[in-house]
Amino acid sequence: MKRWLSYHETYVFIVIVLFSAVIAAVNPSFLTLENLFDLLKSYAFLGILSVGVLFVLISGGIDISFTAVATVAMYVMAVLIIHYGGNIAIAFLIAATIGIALELINALIIYYFNIPAIITTIATLNIYYGLLTVFSGGKWIYGLPPWFREFADIRVLTLTNEAGVSYGISIVTVIWFVIMLAAWGVLRYTVLGRSIYAFGGNPGSAERIGINILRLQLFVYGVMGLMAGIAGVVQVLLVQTVAPNSIVGKELDVIAAVVLGGASLFGGTGSLLGTLLGVALIAVMSNGLTLMRVPSYWYDVFIGLIILFSVTISALRRRQRIGRMIIVEGEA
Amino acid sequence: MSARKYSEILTLGLVMVVVALLLTLFIGPQFLGVGNLQSMAFQLPELGILSLAMMITMLTGGINLSIIASANLTGIVTAMILIRYADPAGTGPGLWVIILLAMLAGLAISTAIGLLNGGLIAWAGVSPILATLGTMILLKGLAIVLTKGYVLSGLPAPVLFLGNGVIAGIPVPMILFALCALVMGVILNRTPMGVRIYMIGSNITACYFSGVNNAAVLLKTYLISGLYSGIAALIMIARFNSAKADYGESYLLLTVLASVLGGTSAAGGFGRVSGLVIALIILQLVASGLNLLRVSAFLTIAMWGAILILVMVANTLVTRYRERRALAY
């Protein structure tokens, strides 16, 4: 019991349960499978991006540019598949390649010129987004190929509600969960994954025990790019249009979700379970506000309050822990 | 050390002259005509004061992502009070009292925001990025709740003077900016507080062990940052004759760019107001020039990003070269 209380995830989980209880008391339709499956589908985009952001935050970096990267990836992907045709695997491949390439540029600038990650990525966000808008003329893309639209409708489990409308677990949800499982395996069981934690926890020591920092940075931002590319395709699958300005500006929401899940900007901490719970908290809250008929413009106020509350608690706990460490060192 | 500072300001000044000459060559003599110079002098102050707000936090090694949101909320609250209680056609001392009170209320809010940021960073130990990210989302949310996304417009005429008036040929916003820059320069260079701000940016642990109350200095830093964003807000609503939840969102990149271009180190500890002012003039020249040349606004944004990276790369290379030379001797 005491061990559980020391995990950040436990508290996030308790908050989610409390929120859910309140929402369900006001509007029972919150607790239906239909609503759950719907949330799991519509939050796949945020969820996939949050996996990439988690990698970056664990390594002690930060990325602001990933929404622009995702936008470029999905725009180019859409233009290419409409023009040349292809299949869903090719669509993902194109977007992933572009995503990885653009994020590797971030990693190279950060590594070789020692520029703070936040400044580098604020700059590249504007470069990628600005150039895309210039070249695309800001035009929306409609009319995606039929095979692309059909793929979005695939369900792995189909149920029917009383009204006769069928619902189920979307293929998009499956993609999200497969990605999380793979990322969990990489972070927990591979040398590369463990060295991300080591580097984020203490870059100096990590370098001395022989971790190749350039390779590590390329890997971390590469994962971010891969996730941005996949999330870009998922977004197009969900809405079936491509708008150059639809997701830029949402980057802080994603970072907020990951931070809510316990990842720290100081690096070295963070888990996939926590990130999933962070996304779940944001999903439950925004869905709950809608179901409780709270006007949508209150949304940011709640998110902001929750973030400030969460980061303050974790900062205070961190301070407490460091204080204890100094006392222990003093006694030894 | 002082030779180095001198050479940096000189280099920036040289860049400014070259940029001005090049743009005049492309656009023609009207680029440096009275009309264009005056329109630039009206545009620069908002960004300038916001950049000062950004710069002081960067000097301590932090960052303030909430300045734009803070400015918008301040502007909205001030505008709401003015629209509700001040008669647009009214005159007399009553109107002036209301205007004064509305502005004080606005500045009080921006100072409170600064206090919130400072408290989170200095007392709770939240990293500046996260703390100001959280307040940014919260403030933007509050701004949307207050306005429901609409534009608030129709401010009393005396307020508009603050954004559009001219005294002795000099635009009023420019005078306010000069005052703000002067006060910031005095704080940074002539007070113990200023020295402590630079010390925290250079080495926060050494600063702590030399007996400085780091928390108090950080708190004041973010307080000043908040107050400056509030002053920028007053000029902004006066110039546009309106307030809205999402004005000036592209300014965030530009404030970082202006600070870095002006020699403020992103890791903290270095940077001067004079450098920032010259950097702002360069940015304003380029922005006006591109506007006159009808370059797309988005291409301009992309270019700002590229310039930011190039300046940072150049800074790194120069530092490395200096270190290598220092080792060789």
Give the closest residue to B262 by CA, choosing from B2, B13, B3: B13
Is the pLDDT assigned to residue B109 strictly greater than 90? yes
pLDDT at B304 over 80: yes
- What is the rounded distance in angstroms from the CA atom of residue B228 to the CA atom of residue B117? 14
Q: Residue B144 is nearest to which of A115, A300, A312, comparing CB atoms?
A: A300
Q: What is the DSSP string of B4-46?
A: HHHHHHHHHHHHHHHHHHHHHHHH-GGGGSHHHHHHHHHHHHH
CA of B253 to nearest chain A CA: how many angstroms apart? 7
Name the closest residue on chain B to residue A125, using Cα atoms.
B305
Chain B closest-CA separation from residue A73 CA (Å): 17
Shortest Cα distance from B175 to chain A (angstroms)?
31
Q: Name residue B135's amino acid.
A: T
**What mean pLDDT is predicted for residues B28-38?**
78
Q: What is the pLDDT of residues A279-309, one digit of tens each?
A: 998 888 888 888 888 887 888 888 888 888 8
Cβ-based contacts of B270 with chain A (< 8 Å): none
Is the Cα dihedral B77, B83, B86, B91 positive or negative? positive
pLDDT tens for B200-226 read: 888 888 888 887 888 888 899 999 999
The answer to whether the Cβ–Cβ distance between B126 and A312 falls below 8 Å is yes
Report pLDDT digits (tens) over B58-88.
988 888 989 999 999 999 999 888 888 776 6
User: Which is it for the CA torsion B227, B300, B147, B44, positive or negative?
Assistant: positive
What distance in Å separates the CA atoms of residue A320 and residue B103, rounded to the nearest whole number?
41
A301 vs B136, B142, B302: nearest CB: B142
**Tokens standing for residue B114:** 């600064």
Question: Where do the DSSP E strands lie in chain A?
Answer: 155-160, 166-170
Comparing CB atoms, the residue among A122, A264, A265 nearest residue B253 is: A122
Residue A1 has pLDDT above 70, yes or no: no
pLDDT class for A106, splitting at 50, 70, 90? Answer: very high
pLDDT (0 to 100) of residue B3: 47
Local confidence band at A331 (pLDDT 50, 70, 90 cut-offs): very low
What mean pLDDT value characterizes chain A?
Answer: 86
Q: pLDDT for A58-75, tens place per residue?
A: 998 889 899 999 999 999
Do the Cβ atoms of B125 and A122 come within 8 Å?
Answer: no
Residue pLDDT, tens place only, A40-62: 888 999 999 999 999 999 998 88
Q: Is residue B20 over pLDDT 50?
A: yes
ipTM (interface predicted TM): 0.82
- Tell me: pLDDT of A198 over 80: yes
CA B291, B296, B299, B305 torsion-angle sign: positive
Angle at B4 between CA B2 and CA B9, to 5 degrees: 95
Mean pLDDT, range A216-232, rounded to an integer? 94
User: Two tokens at A265?
Assistant: 């900007």
Q: How many residues does chain A have?
A: 332
Give A231's pLDDT tier (boundaries 50, 70, 90): very high
Token pair listed for A175: 């993609």
Mean pLDDT of A112-133: 89
The whole model's pTM is what? 0.85
Distance from CA of A86 to the nearest CA of B (A): 31
pLDDT for the residue B320: 83
Q: Say whether B126 and A114 touch across the interface (CB within 8 A).
A: no
pLDDT at site B6: 57
Stretch (H or E) spanning A127:
helix A117-136
Nearest chain B residue (CA) to A68 = B302
* Average of per-residue pLDDT across A1-27: 80
The 3-class SS string of B79-121 reads HHHHHHHCCCCCCCHHHHHHHHHHHHHHHHHHHHHHHHHHHHH
pLDDT > 50? residue B1? no
Task: Band the pLDDT of A324: cuts 50, 70, 90.
Answer: low
CB atoms within 10 A of CB A6: 9
B235-254 mean pLDDT = 82
Contacts of A116 in chain B (CB under 8 A): 266-267
β-strand pairing of B170-171 with B166-167:
antiparallel
Q: Where are the alpha helices (DSSP H) in B154-272?
A: 157-164, 172-190, 192-202, 204-209, 214-240, 251-261
- The residue with tokens 């590797």 is A104
In chain B, what residues touch A113 (CB-CB under 8 Å)?
312-313, 316-317
Q: What is the pLDDT of residue B88?
A: 62
Tell me the average pLDDT of chain B: 84
State the pLDDT at residue B298: 83
| Exposure string for B156-191, b = 16+ CB within 10 A, e = fewer | beebbebbbeeeeeebbbbbbbeebbeebbebbeee
pLDDT of residue B5: 53
Which tops the pLDDT comparison, B3 or A135?
Answer: A135
The CB-side HSE value for B40 (13 A sphere, CA atoms) comes to: 22
pLDDT at A95 over 90: yes
What pLDDT is recorded for position B50?
93
What does A162-198 look like in DSSP terms, one character per residue? Answer: TTS-EEEEEHHHHHHHHHHHHHHHHHHHSHHHHHHHH
Mutation choice for A interface testing from B137, B144, B208, B254 by most A CBs within 10 A: B137
Is pLDDT at B254 greater than 70 in this prediction?
yes
Are B43 and B171 contacting, i.e. CB atoms less than 8 angstroms apart? Answer: no
| Least reliable range by pLDDT among B106-110, B172-176, B179-183 | B172-176
Å from A105 to nearest chain B CA? 12
Give B181's contacts (C-beta < 8 A, 6+ positions apart): B48, B52, B273, B276, B277
pLDDT of residue A4: 66
pLDDT band at B4 (very low <50, low <70, confident <90, very high): low
Q: What is the pLDDT of residue A279?
A: 92
**Single-letter residue type at B12:** L
Question: To the nearest whole percent, how much of chain B has pLDDT over 90?
Answer: 20
CA-to-CA distance for A310 and A16, rounded, in angstroms? 13
